[in-house]
Amino acid sequence: MSDDRTVLVTGGAGYIGSHTCLVLLEAGWTVVVLDNLENASEVAVDRVRELAGPAGTNLTFVRGDVRHGADLDRAFTVAPVDAVVHFAGRKAVGESVEHPLWYYDHNVGGTVRLLEAMQRHDVRDLVFSSSATVYGEPERVPLDEHCRTGATNPYGRTKLFIEEMLRDVAASEPGWRIALLRYFNPVGAHPSGRIGEDPVGIPNNLMPYLMQVAVGRREHLTVHGDDYPTPDGTPIRDYLHVVDLAEGHRAALDRIDVLEGAVAVNLGTGVGSSVLDVVAAARAATGHPIPLAVGPRRPGDAAEVWADPTVAADLLAWRATRTLAEMCADHWRWQQANPSGYRG
């Protein structure tokens, strides 16, 4: 189905984007990546080509910014584009509180420019990176797509506003088919250990932090609160292997013809794990004791966030299959082989 079809992947040099490009190349897509490399390395693109084998020649990298129409036009004219997967944007909650306009410019402004370019080049199929963050403080768990939305920080609001904007665009003219993929907590790396997450500075997220403790870059993990109303007192999340997530994008492109307008779809496992569950799995995968210190709660953290993934199964025929143990083992392989990420 994907033979001779071309997908433009914005932000394709990043963590989720690089894994998705590999899955799409393996599925026979021709891939054009547009990335300004502000939070990524071109080495990731080279490694995706290498991992894809002969299909690697079907990947073209364009360095450019989604906020610039001319850069988008360059990417759209590499080959006739059939569909777009839009990852490009900023994703750190704290940074978004400090620099809200910068976030609105990148995430909302970048998406406006992208949609204009899609109209210019007559492309109407779009897969968008949304986030479980749009549910804010969860109304209930598991979260299904009918749950109340309401973000609690500027980053989350950019995702929510983009979702609304995409619904407006889809309603304004027939032909748009848009998947709003709401990711839960992507972790792990490709099992080769060649591509993975490469955070700049001190990681905010649990898994990269744990792995940097295990590799000796940090002393201990601070558990942000152990007095939540959960069985072990630490918050519960829905951790999802990044390769499962990448496959979710392939499924969305394969099944885009069943979408009418803009449709929200949770991508999660449906299984919740506490911080201490993840620590135990990381200890087992790494053989490192991973010392802990318990600190105060992190502002804005909910006790439990996990997905009802039924819509993804029904609509996209997609299910996550990889376990927490595999997520940790694969993240660890990447971390060990690349202790400083793509920087050497």
User: Which sequence positions are flagged as catalytic?
Assistant: 155
Choice from 60, 205, 230, 310 touching ligand UD1 (CB under 6 A): 205
Is 130 a binding residue for ligand UD1 by CB under 6 A? The answer is no
Is 2 a binding residue for ligand NAD by CB under 6 A? The answer is no
Per-residue DSSP letters for 282-335? Answer: HHHHH-----EEEEPPPTT--SEE-B--HHHHHHH-------HHHHHHHHHHHH
Choice from 67, 99, 121, 298 touching ligand NAD (CB under 6 A): 67
Q: Which residue is nearest to ligand NAD (CB)?
A: 14
Give the separation between CA 20 and CA 45, rounded to whole angstroms. Answer: 11
Which partner in ligand NAD, ligand UD1, none is near 248 (CB below 5 to 8 A by kind)? none
Instruction: Tell me whether residue 71 or residue 244 sits nearer to ligand UD1 (CB atom).
Output: 244
Helix (H), strand (E) at residue 235: none
Is 163 a binding residue for ligand NAD by CB under 6 A? The answer is no
Choice from 224, 283, 288, 319 touching ligand UD1 (CB under 6 A): 224
Is 15 a binding residue for ligand NAD by CB under 6 A? The answer is yes
> 290: exposed, middle or buried (C-beta count within 10 Å: 0-12, 13-18, 19+)?
middle
Is 131 a binding residue for ligand NAD by CB under 6 A? The answer is yes
Is 300 a binding residue for ligand UD1 by CB under 6 A? The answer is yes
Q: How far is CA 66 from CA 102, 117, 305, in A?
A: 14, 10, 31
Per-residue DSSP letters for 61-103? Answer: EEE--TT-HHHHHHHHTSS---EEEE--S---HHHHHH-HHHH
Is 301 a binding residue for ligand UD1 by CB under 6 A? The answer is yes
Beta-bridged to residue 187, according to DSSP, are: 241
Site string for ligand UD1, 254-283 (x = CB under 6 A): ---------------------x--------
Question: What is the contact surface with ligand NAD in residues (CB under 6 A)?
Answer: 10-11, 13-17, 35-40, 65-67, 87-89, 91, 106, 110, 129, 131, 183, 186
